[in-house]
Structures are given as C-alpha cells and as structure tokens.
Structure 1
Amino acid sequence: MKIELVKVEKSQSNHVLKLYQLVFSPYLKKYHDDEINPANTPITKIERWFDKEFMSLFFIKFDEKIVGIVRLAHVTWDFEGQEKIHIGDFGILPDYQNLGLGQMTIKKLEQMYHPKDGWELSTILQEAGNIHFYEKLGYQATGSLTHSNEKMDIIGFEKKEK
C-alpha cells in the first residue's frame, strides 16, 4: 500500500473546496463549528493560499484516486530564527479512513520536510480517534486548549524534530 502527495495548483481550488466539504462536513454536522470548520472555507480564501509562499496544499492519492488533502504552513518567527511546520487542514475521505493512509501521509510529510523546531497542529479534543492518531505518531499535547463552542474544544499538539 502506497500513497502519493501531489502539490495542488491554484486552478484546482474548486476541487479543494469539494474535497473540504466531503471530508469535513461530518464534523460540521456534529459540532456546528460554522466559523472554523474547513467545509465552510470560501473559495476566495482557498485561492489566496496559493499566493502565500509559506503555504502548501497536497492532494493525497491512493490507487490513483484523490482520497484526502493536507495543508501546511511553514511557520518562521522573527525571534531566534524559529522554524516549524503547522499541519493545518488534514483529512481523508470517509470511505478511505482507517486504512492507514493518514499515518502514511504524516510519515511521508515528515520525510519531505525537516523543520528545525518541529511540527505543530491542533485537533478536536472530543475526537478520541484524532487524539490517539497523533499520539501514536509521536505528537504530544502542548497544553494549549481553546473552547470553540459548547460541543467542541481545540487542543494543540507538537512534535520536535529529532
């Protein structure tokens, strides 16, 4: 079993939007996180991402089909030359979940990039499967917790570069 990460082009923004809606709508229905859920991302915002050199979007391909998406932000700070990669929106289509594709994606990204200060991300605290997924890959909770609404909290994770 093998995945491929294919860099998304601006001309594929509509495909990104459709994929976001398919991947993230179940969370939108469950948590009613209208303001932050990627399924509600306006096409104009997606198109602007391609104008930012610190942003990367990849389609996740499996068996020649696009089965997911991941967005990265290459974070650099003015102080002390800090460098991290933030894993933003990351999701696999429901029919392809629990096949190990998510783990393969993260491992492949970690082989492609080596930010000196590691990786960071945030996920839904109430989604035990997400928490377990990231912990299994060596990510640790940062203690950062944001109350999004009465049903959902967002927790931060990080992984230091070895």
Structure 2
Amino acid sequence: MKIKFEKANIEDAEELIEVRNLSFYSDYRKYGECPGYNISKERMTDTLLNTKIKIYKIFCDDKVVGNISVRHINDNTCYIGCLCVIPSYENKGIGQEAIRFVEKEFSNATVWTLETPADKVKNHYFYKKLGYSIVDEYMSGLVKIVLFEKKLLCK
C-alpha cells in the first residue's frame, strides 16, 4: 500500500466534495448536521482559494481516498480543519500518515489543534495515540465538540 499526498487545487473541488461526502455521511445521518458533508462547489472553491488554508488529497495506491486541511492560525499554531478517509480505507494507517505529513510539512508549528464530536470515541483514541489531548469541550449547534491540542517542543 503506497500512501502519498498532493496539494489540492480548484480543479479538485468536485473530487474533494465526493470524498468528504463518502467520509462524513454517517456523521450527517447521526447528528443531522455535519460541516464536512454536502459542501457546495462554490464553498469548496472559496476554501481552496483561501491562502491561509492548505488542502491535501490523500492517495492510496494512486486512488484519492481522503483529504486533510490545515489552517495557519499564527506563526506557531496550525488547525487541522478536516481529516477524512473514506470508510473502506479506514484502519489502514492512512490517517496517521496524514497527521505526520502535515506536522512535517508545517514544521514551524509548535501547537496543533483540531475538533471532533465528543461522542466519537474512536476519533479520541486515534488523536490521543498521536499525542493530542482534550483541552476544551463545547456545543456547536446540536453537537457537543471537543477541542484537541498537541504541543511540540520548540524547534
């Protein structure tokens, strides 16, 4: 299994929407809402044009199976806005490789943050395994969200 990453561009908007819809459909069904599900092409294009956000396609054996997005908050802080892998490719180490990739790609960042639903225990286990800790929780619409953070040693 060969995993690689490639920066997404405007031409990738529909493919990114398709991957996110496959990845987040179960969350949409469960919660009745999901910010990663059913994004319009216009919104995805706007996100791809935002210079503070970088989106990478995740390939497994030359097939796009997910994506990860990173937003610069400031010089030393980055926020992972989306990490998704389509269900048939989950539990193969792809998500771990994606986190390692962005942490290396944005090597000046010493603080990383991300959010996930409070009841997604599988996600919590995954992020904790990679060194993230829960630092806050709050309601976002109808969904209770936890904020994860990872602090790296100064570089």
TM-score, L = length of structure 2? 0.91
**Selected match of 1:104 from 92, 97, 101:** 97
Q: CA deviation at 1:55?
A: 0.7
Cα distance in 2 between the residues matched to 1:83 and 1:41: 29
CA RMSD for the aligned pairs?
A: 1.5
Residue number in structure 1 paired with 2:64: 66
Q: CA deviation at 1:149?
A: 4.8
TM-score, L = length of structure 1? 0.88
Residue number in structure 1 paired with 2:3: 3
- Which aligned pairs between 1:114-133 and structure 2 lie closer than 5 A? 114-133=107-126
1:56 aligns with 2:84: no
Cα distance in 1 between the residues matched to 2:56 and 2:139: 29
- Asked whether the equivalents of residues 78 and 109 of structure 2 are also in contact (C-alpha less than 8 Å), the reply is no
- Asked whether the equivalents of residues 55 and 70 of structure 2 are also in contact (C-alpha less than 8 Å), the reply is yes
1:153 aligns with 2:144: yes
Q: CA deviation at 1:2?
A: 3.7
Detail structure 1 runs of 4+ shifted over 6 Å in the superposition. none
Structure 1: gaps (5+ residues): 77-81
Judging changes above 3 Å, is the alpha-carbon distance between structure 1 residues 141 and 21 closer, same or farther for their aligned structure 2 residues? Answer: same
Percent of aligned pairs sharing the same letter: 27
Q: CA deviation at 1:161?
A: 2.0
Q: Which amino acid aligns with 1:49?
A: T
Q: Which amino acid aligns with 2:39?
A: T
Cα distance in 1 between the residues matched to 2:10 and 2:145: 29
Cα distance in 2 between the residues matched to 1:101 and 1:127: 18
Cα distance in 2 between the residues matched to 1:137 and 1:20: 22
Structure 2: gaps (5+ residues): none
Aligned residues: 153
Q: CA deviation at 1:137?
A: 0.2
Structure 1 range deviating more: 61-70 or 112-121: 112-121
Could you list the per-position Cα deviations for residues 24-68 of structure 1 after superposition, in whole angstroms to 9, with x for gaps in the alignment? 1111001112xx421132211111112221110111001111111
Q: Which amino acid aligns with 1:153?
A: K
- Which aligned pairs between 1:5-44 and structure 2 lie closer than 5 A? 5-33=5-33, 36-44=34-42
